[in-house]
A and B are shown apart, each in its own frame.
Chain A
Amino acid sequence: MERVIGESKKSFMTGNEAAAWACLAAGADIMFGYPITPQNEIMHYWTRMAPKYGKGFLQTEDELSAGFTVCGGVQSGKKAFTATAGPGNVLMQEPFGMAEAMRLPLLAIIQQRGGPSSGTVVYSQQEVSLTTYGGNGEGHRIVYSTSTHQEIFDYIIKGFNTAWKFRFPVFILGDGYQAKMREPLEMYDPESRGIKMEEAYPLIGLGGKIGQDRGPSHLCNIYSLEEELYEVITKVQAEYDALAPQITEYDEKFCEDADIILVTHGVVSRAADDAVKALRAQGIKAGYFRPITLRPFPQQELRAAIAKSGAKKLLIAESAIGQLERLVKQEIYGETVKIETLFMPGVGIIESDLIDKVKSVL
């Protein structure tokens, strides 16, 4: 694979630019996209760089088309990806459903903006439910919630590999802050870090002579009988459950003796990290737990953190009204720890918001 970055280098750029570079470094072949803020610059940088590296791009007529062209690109054996946000994410749930049904390893970068409807173009964490369980299916997807530009870069590279290794659609869940802020990160070619990129392979257009070398490939996503669908979905669920421990990622700090554990994801976990350190400095035993994968969710790990700390409370904080909270509750059903919440839909959460909240509930 062509090295596009060469020596790994420190950079200072927006998250959208980092995302485009990561797709290039990961060996992505083609992007299909439709303009929507705050993800536009991923397309802007990709369209500037792609021709130099023999990569493809198509600006489609809408997000439905962007999603379905990505499905086609992946079926033909190319590392195809897209990026969207908000109402675009809503439209893409239809093609994402096809990707779930046909196990198409597409990658989609979601830069969350506010909602419902057109919301804002700025920032939000309100696309958690949609990205994890959107569509008329069972959430057979992998969702990485990033918190820094470095993670956008790292998890896009990892995401292409997870997608093609396990054949589930992969989502990089960022937000408007991560999209538009500039901050430092280190960019690198995966091989220079010993990361082997998975090879893409076609599901149709397989080559050879049909009837002589092989039979035709007939890809299916609709079934005539209840039992047929039941069998397929049950098998996919079993595979998803079996692979989950290999995919699940989380971060945990100061949970050994915590009286209260802050559960946050994405960019809010940066505020939580600061808040926990500040609270500790004031003698308050706060802990930090962050699911990095929202699907599959680090259920066992969160239960273990609650158990070993003996924490009396969890504080779930998010820039949404309970979308993370609902995920957490379904995953840790049966735990008796009391759940406190800080919901700030569509606005950022900073260290002092969390510190004040912790003090008010302890």
Chain B
Amino acid sequence: MAVQAIPKSWYLPSKPHKFCPGCGHGIVLKALGEVIDELEIQDQVIFGCDIGCSLLSWNFFACDSTQTHHGRTTPVMVGIKRSRPELVCVGYMGDGGGYSIGSQHLLNSAVRNEKVTLILVNNTNYGMTGGQMAPTTLPGQKTETSPYGRDPELTGYPTMGPEFIAQLTPDSAYVARATVSKYKQLKKYIKSALRNQMEGNGFSFVEVLSTCPTNWRTNAQQTWNFLEDEMEKYFPVGELKTPFGKGDK
């Protein structure tokens, strides 16, 4: 069977995309595009993107889409979903937008079990603004605002997003952590997160571990090593909560 290289739901005039070479966003957005195609929901999807690198996806899909503000994608998606429940709302954000400036929205929409799907890309730093420390920066990791390495005594430990969201949500929520190094699993989790919304179950959240060679200042091998050896060790990949049966943690 011929595999289609480019998802049908991608918006071709905006390609090639504007992410840096080696960035993981393209992989996440490819998985999302394929899932939108497979679920045949291109015409129902509302794609909302945060400010930060995720903004570069604002016209990535041939789906109705909206830019929002830094951290505010979650409430915009909630407002749309509450107003038009038939739409499939997908919020796309980074770790800064989701876990720092927009954390109150993430937390409370999880508690309310809002019927939206949020995909949060974790690359352990603020990429768009030039590589500052993020809530997800690993202990000892050097960034522009932790030039001697993140010291947990001063700035705490990395935010464990899916773990805290799993604690806040009822059983009908879907919560998982994926990684761009395991594409099939990533796609499966995104598909589950969309299905969970479409079936009206509840809040659906996927954190995706991703790469940022530009700000990590790493070559291809070092980039992949940091993702697989450092990040995936600290942030366990798997399903934390699934209404579709036992998770594959």
Contacts and interface: CB of A to CB of B under 8 A. Distances in A.
A217 B65 contact: yes
A75 B76 contact: yes
Contacts of B78: 58, 60, 65, 69, 72
B236 interface: no
Contacts of B44: 205
Given A80-B79, A80-B83, A217 B64 contact: yes
Interface residues of A, number: 44
Q: Which are the 4 A-B pairs with shortest beta-carbon distances?
A: A72-B79, A69-B79, A61-B108, A68-B75
B80 interface: yes
A94 B69 contact: yes
Given A68-B72, A216-B65, A77 B84 contact: yes
A30 B72 contact: no
A58 B114 CA distance: 11
Contact of A76 (B59, B69, B84): B84
Which secondary structure dominates chain B's binding surface?
Answer: mixed
Contact of A68 (B42, B46, B59, B76): B76
22 contacts: A58-B82, A61-B104, A61-B105, A62-B104, A64-B75, A69-B75, A69-B76, A70-B79, A71-B76, A72-B48, A72-B75, A72-B77, A72-B83, A80-B79, A98-B69, A204-B80, A206-B64, A210-B43, A221-B67, A221-B68, A222-B51, A222-B55
A116 interface: no
Interface string B42-73: 11101010010001001101111111110010
Given A75-B80, A218-B59, A204 B108 contact: no
Interface residues of B, number: 35
Interface of B: 11, 42-44, 46, 48, 51, 55, 58-59, 61-69, 72, 75-84, 87, 104-105, 107-108
A357 B62 CA distance: 64
A72 B76 contact: yes
Nearest to A72: B79
- Which of A60, A73, A94, A216 has the most chain B CB atoms closer than 10 A to its own CB? A216
Contacts of B75: 60, 64-65, 67-69, 72
Nearest to B81: A72
A94 B42 CA distance: 30
Contacts of B55: 222
B68 A98 contact: yes
A131 B131 CA distance: 36
B63 A75 contact: no
A30 B82 contact: yes
Interface of A: 29-30, 32, 56, 58, 60-62, 64-65, 67-73, 75-78, 80, 94-95, 98, 102, 202-211, 215-222
Contacts of B81: 72
Contacts of A58: 78, 82
A205 B46 contact: yes
Nearest to B11: A216
Contacts of B64: 204-206, 210, 216-218
Nearest to B64: A204
A80 B81 CA distance: 13
A71 B64 CA distance: 15
B68 A211 contact: no
Contacts of B105: 61, 64-65, 68
A222 B46 CA distance: 18
A73 B67 contact: no
Nearest to A29: B83
A76 B64 CA distance: 10
Contacts of B11: 216, 218
A28 B124 CA distance: 43
A204 B79 CA distance: 13
Nearest to A59: B112
Given A68-B69, A205-B46, A210-B42, A215 B62 contact: yes
A208 B43 CA distance: 7
Contact of A73 (B51, B68, B82, B107): B82
A220 B69 contact: no
Contacts of A216: 11, 59, 61-65
A76 B83 contact: yes
A209 B9 CA distance: 12
- Which of A56, A72, A218 has the most chain B CB atoms closer than 10 A to its own CB? A72
A184 to B, nearest CB: 35
Contacts of A208: 43
B108 A95 contact: no
B69 A205 contact: no
- Which of B58, B59, B61, B72 has the most chain A CB atoms closer than 10 A to its own CB? B72
Given A60-B108, A61-B108, A76-B87, A211 B62 contact: yes
A58 B44 CA distance: 23
Contact of A222 (B67, B79, B83): B67
A219 B65 contact: yes
B81 to A, nearest CB: 8
B46 A204 contact: yes
Given A95-B72, A205-B46, A78 B83 contact: yes
Contact of A65 (B43, B46, B84, B108): B108
A56 B42 contact: no
A68 B83 contact: no
Given A216-B62, A218-B65, A205 B80 contact: yes
